[in-house]
Amino acid sequence: MNQIPQFDPSQYEKKWREKWEEEQIYHIDNPVNAGKPKYYCLDMFPYPSGEGLHVGHWRGYVLSDVWSRYKLLQGFNVLHPMGWDNFGLPAENDAIHKGIHPKISTKKNIDNIRRQLKEIGCIYDWSKEISTTHPDYYKWTQFIFLKMFEMGLAYQKEQPVNWCNDCKVVLANEEVAGGKCERCGGTNIEKRFIKQWMLKITAYAERLLQDLDDLDWPEKVKEMQRNWIGKSIGAEVDFKIDGHENLGPVTVFTTRPDTLFGATFLVMAPEHKLVKQITEASRMSEVDAYIKETHKMSNIDRQTNKDKSGVFTGAYAINPVNGAKLPIWISNYVLMDYGSGAIMAVPAHDERDFQFAQKFGIPIIEVIHSDAAKRNADGTLSEAYVGDGDIINSDYLNGLNVEKAKETIVSRLEKDGVGKKTVNYKLRDWIFARQRYWGEPIPVVYCDKCGIVPVPEKDLPVELPDVESYKPSDDGSSPLAKMTDWVNTRCPKCGGPARRETDTMPQWAGSSWYFIRYPDRDYKEAFASPESLKKWLPVDMYVGGIEHAVLHLLYARFWTKVLYDAGLVPFKEPFQRLFNQGMVCRRAHRCHKCNRWVYDHELDLSIEPDKRVCPTCGSKLEISMEKMSKSKGNGINPDILVSQYGTDTLRLYELFTGDPAMDSEWNDDGIKACYNLLKRSWNFVHAAQPQPQSSPRAAKAVNKLIKDVESRMLAFKFNTAVSAFMEFINEASDAVNEFSQEDLEKFVIVMSPFAPHFAEEIWMTYFKKPDHVFHQPYPKCDEKLLEASEIEYTIHINGKLRMKVMAAPGCSEEALKQLLKGNPRFEELVGDKPVRKTIFVPNKLLNFIL
RNA sequence: GCGGACGUGGUGAAACUGGUAGACACGCCAGAUUUAGGUUCUGGUGCCGCAAGGUUUGAGAGUUCGAGUCUCUCCGUCCGCACCA
């Protein structure tokens, strides 16, 4: 008997990774891949933080790699690229605190993460690696910005912005989480007025909404984007202001024009332009005070304060349909940046207006009658009625239902020239400037004579100069503003003196189009070569975390549509299919007194969880489940597990722990199972004495494996695919010498996407094959071999499972009854009792109702 | 408040269109072999019961011959949005 070599992944894993890299077998331009159809599988590229990767990051990368390798076996030329999204605040904050140039710190971080990524054994084509901070890359980010400027989609606007006093930076609405700065976490946001570069994403709201329907994305993500875009259909109605006809009318937006006759007051946002002009002198001080009060309030106060407040301006608006005089109030429940900043209030049929009217004693007029409305004993409404019903008190609308009334009144308003049908979106334009150093310079100059002048394409990129201090100045301007040599330049148009824009782009810029650059990253003539656009794009499969459901994925779609409109790309959507892996969580310890996360290494984990205390202050720790991250001290470093068990084991285990789409709680108790799977597979293949032909049992096991693994991969259920390998090896271990060489080879090929080093070692070293296992075709399942001669039928009595019998597949109800006749167990159960009814499910069960 | 997801053994979890709940593992228990190369093998393992049997998918109801799966009510956890007119 042959001596079976010891299973020891450290003997071969590194060797194969080096070999693959040396041969560049995953490079899309490698001649071995010529002529194959393309498949583009994209991972969301990481922000290279100093923390390195933890096992949660691994999960997504393993997932997409198994998928990519499966596509490889299917005969595709697979592009699976990797790069770095390395502009952004964390590196800059590091620079401010430690004085290290972000270029240097991010390079260090990238080197470490690249090393970690290589250990996963992914088929990344490293010859396509890109970095958003490389001038050859951001040259084209700047180019796209200028395209948008040319198309009128990039513009400047003075407007209230979210100012974070700590970061000294203006934040996009999208970066304000719960009224707090998403970057630094704690600081409250205040409003400031700054001239900002904006991108007109709202011009694409409708297309961003409509085109979602055709994408093969998780419904959840599509729904989140729909909510974010927030389309609502309604009408704009113009109200004249009594005694202020010179100011023109105030326009309100409403989704309920059918209730116009029920309006009893108007409310304007405190920031509304007309407020100061219409307020009566005697009320000016009160109104002023209220406006000041609102400005002081942070967003979070404004949101959580459910108690309605407001002030009467003393002015009245005229209802265009019936001439009624409606008092105009201001209140902070009306937002300036949605609709027109003013509403008509119909307390009978809107909850918020109802609360407001009740508090300030404003009349409530019902215009929709329904028995479903909730009423007080005296017949008045006890809460706003928002449902359908018959229109009343509304002149020519009376008797119509809500929908009909909407149509009727809108056409009447349009005819009379006092209103029109309108669509509104919650989506707001994107603030596209940061007063920061570590970002792409916005490529425009200001000339006293010519105004805003874009930097000509031939002068791109506008390179980021080195600065002495990374700290923004207290007025909030970028550190670049202090670099006078850089700032002062010549106007490209007239040649006169001019100043450069010192704001930089937000971190989202580079990631909004990186997938376009990958296939031909060295192309000099344009942001992408026409051949690569045609051949490689759009992306076929995009894999990444759910946290990017709205921002990044919406921005990337927006940029793609802009490029399409500019005639620069031939596709309208960047990512045909999207898969979001669930978050990997782990319990984390928090000390409320010290207000910090306590790291695992500070604790004695053998102590009962509820007895653990803070090492600094001794108070009891709160334990909660948190997304794995080093800052919470609950990360698990994959490097340690890899050195202990090998890459393939960790790859398998990352998949085995649960449904990849679901969140999971990390625990490495079961990692041995995956190590054992590989070890048993190793021993099985080495011990097997190949036969000229597989036994029926062995052939069935192999074919079942081929089918199960493939169908589970297609459903993205990698966890049960790993189970299928375990089932196979359980079966195969009992039939070691019943397999043909061909079937053993099929097993190794099917295994190769999951455990590539293992498969390659067996394939090349043990089987002594001349070509890599990844160049083999995915084996076909022979369905005939899976057919069983007998299957189990369950016999139910009154719906309860009572016994089981074996019979041929496709057995008829009658045949099965014949088979049961005379069976002692069956006689005991049924006997002479009359059978009222039977239910037969082919190949499954027979149910007797007695 | 609105929208979405989820709730199954000691643990991680399976279960396709309603049809044997707990696959596959971890852990644990018993035994065998071996005895230091992350041993291997056999059997057991939801709960109650010696057993026959009963019972079991957050709680309760309903539809059905049959419900983890469908419907309703409630409880709980997580995520997203949040005065959007």
- At A119-141, the pLDDT tens digits run 999 999 999 999 999 999 999 99
- Residue A689 predicted with pLDDT over 50: yes
For A721-732, what is the mean pLDDT?
93
Residue A318: pLDDT band (50, 70, 90) is very high
Residue A98: per-residue pLDDT? 83
Query: What separation in angstroms does the CA of A137 have from each of A134, A406, A436?
Result: 5, 52, 19
Alpha-carbon gap, residue A154 to A539, rounded angstroms:
26
- Residue A384 predicted with pLDDT over 80: yes
**Interface ipTM > 0.95:** no
**Range of lowest pLDDT (A366-370, A477-481, A833-837, A844-848):** A833-837
Nucleotide nearest to A333 (CA to C1'): B83
Alpha-carbon gap, residue A344 to A332, rounded angstroms:
14
- Residue A179 predicted with pLDDT over 60: no
Nearest by Cα to A250 from A292, A278, A284: A278
Residue A383: pLDDT band (50, 70, 90) is confident
Residue A17: per-residue pLDDT? 94
Alpha-carbon gap, residue A330 to A311, rounded angstroms:
5
A585 three-state secondary structure: strand
Q: Supply the DSSP string of A755-814, one letter for each residue.
A: SHHHHHIIIIIIS--SS-GGGSPPPPP-GGGG--S-EEEEEEETTEEEEEEEE-TT--HH
Nucleotide nearest to A800 (CA to C1'): B66
Residue A550: per-residue pLDDT? 87
- Residue A300 predicted with pLDDT over 80: no
Alpha-carbon gap, residue A703 to A685, rounded angstroms:
17
Residue written as tokens 């296992």?
Answer: A773
Residue A1: per-residue pLDDT? 44
Residue written as tokens 């810029």?
Answer: A509
- Residue A352 predicted with pLDDT over 60: yes
Alpha-carbon gap, residue A755 to A765, rounded angstroms:
15
Nucleotide nearest to A792 (CA to C1'): B20
Q: How many CB atoms lie within 10 A of CB A282?
A: 8
A554 three-state secondary structure: helix
Percent pLDDT > 70 in chain A is 94
Higher pLDDT, residue A634 or A421: A421
**Residues whose CB is less than 8 angstroms from the CB of residue A234 and which lie 6 or more positions away in sequence, other chains included:** A253, A254, A255, A256, A257, A421, A422, A423, A424
Strand B bases contacted by the protein (CB, 7 Å)? 3-5, 11-15, 19-21, 23-27, 37-38, 40-42, 54, 65-67, 78-85
Nucleotide nearest to A666 (CA to C1'): B12
The amino acid present at A330, given as its one-letter code, is: I
A493 three-state secondary structure: coil
Q: CA A86 – C1' B10 distance (Å)?
A: 45
Mean pLDDT estimate for chain A: 88
Alpha-carbon gap, residue A80 to A116, rounded angstroms:
17
Spell A440-477 as b/e; 16+ CB within 10 A means b. bbbbbbebeeeeebbbeeeebbbebeebeebebeeebe
Most confident of A86-90, A396-400, A610-614, A664-668: A396-400
Which helix (H) or strand (E) element contains residue A709?
Answer: helix A696-714
Nearest by Cα to A258 from A482, A409, A422, A362: A409
The amino acid present at A654, given as its one-letter code, is: E
Q: CA A663 – C1' B9 distance (Å)?
A: 21
Nucleotide nearest to A660 (CA to C1'): B13
Residue A522: per-residue pLDDT? 93
Using a 10 angstrom Cβ sphere, with 0-12 exposed, 13-18 middle and 19 or more buried, the burial of residue A336 is middle
Residue A176: pLDDT band (50, 70, 90) is low
Residue A758: pLDDT band (50, 70, 90) is very high
Percent pLDDT > 90 in chain A is 57
Q: Are strands A325-330 and A311-318 parallel, antiparallel or unpaired?
A: antiparallel
Most confident of A126-140, A186-200, A626-640: A126-140
Alpha-carbon gap, residue A741 to A685, rounded angstroms:
10
Q: CA A662 – C1' B5 distance (Å)?
A: 9
Instruction: Evaluate whether A419 touches A430 at the Cβ level (below 8 Å).
Output: no
A826 three-state secondary structure: helix
Residue A266: per-residue pLDDT? 96
Nucleotide nearest to A252 (CA to C1'): B85
Alpha-carbon gap, residue A320 to A419, rounded angstroms:
9
Q: Each residue of A598-617: pLDDT tens digit?
A: 887 777 766 766 677 888 88
Instruction: Evaluate whether A510 touches A501 at the Cβ level (below 8 Å).
Output: no
Residue A554: per-residue pLDDT? 94
Q: CA A58 – C1' B37 distance (Å)?
A: 30
Residue A692: pLDDT band (50, 70, 90) is very high
Instruction: Evaluate whether A467 touches A459 at the Cβ level (below 8 Å).
Output: no
| DSSP annotation of A215 | S
Q: CA A7 – C1' B40 distance (Å)?
A: 15
Alpha-carbon gap, residue A187 to A621, rounded angstroms:
24
Residue written as tokens 């951001």?
Answer: A138
- Residue A88 predicted with pLDDT over 90: no
Most confident of A700-704, A802-806, A837-841: A700-704
Alpha helices in A501-617 (DSSP H): 508-511, 514-517, 530-536, 551-565
Compute, in degrees rounded to 10, the torsion defined by CA atoms A279, A281, A286, A292: 60
Q: Each residue of A257-278: pLDDT tens digit?
A: 999 999 999 999 998 999 999 9
**Residues whose CB is less than 8 angstroms from the CB of residue A827 and which lie 6 or more positions away in sequence, other chains included:** none
Beta bridge mates, A589: A598, A623
| DSSP annotation of A345 | E
Alpha-carbon gap, residue A91 to A95, rounded angstroms:
6
Q: Each residue of A69-87: pLDDT tens digit?
A: 999 999 999 999 999 999 9
For A471-483, what is the mean pLDDT?
79
Residue A494: per-residue pLDDT? 93
Most confident of A37-51, A284-298, A835-849: A37-51
Instruction: Evaluate whether A84 touches A45 at the Cβ level (below 8 Å).
Output: yes
Q: CA A497 – C1' B34 distance (Å)?
A: 89
HSE (side-chain half, CA atoms, 13 Å) at A699: 14
A325 three-state secondary structure: strand
Residue A798: per-residue pLDDT? 80
Which residue places its CA closest to the C1' of nucleotide B26?
A670
- Residue A22 predicted with pLDDT over 90: yes
- Residue A376 predicted with pLDDT over 70: yes
Residue A750: pLDDT band (50, 70, 90) is very high
Q: How many helices (H) and strands (E) does chain A have?
A: 26, 33
Is the Cα dihedral A83, A89, A90, A96 positive or negative? positive
Instruction: Evaluate whether A703 touches A779 at the Cβ level (below 8 Å).
Output: no
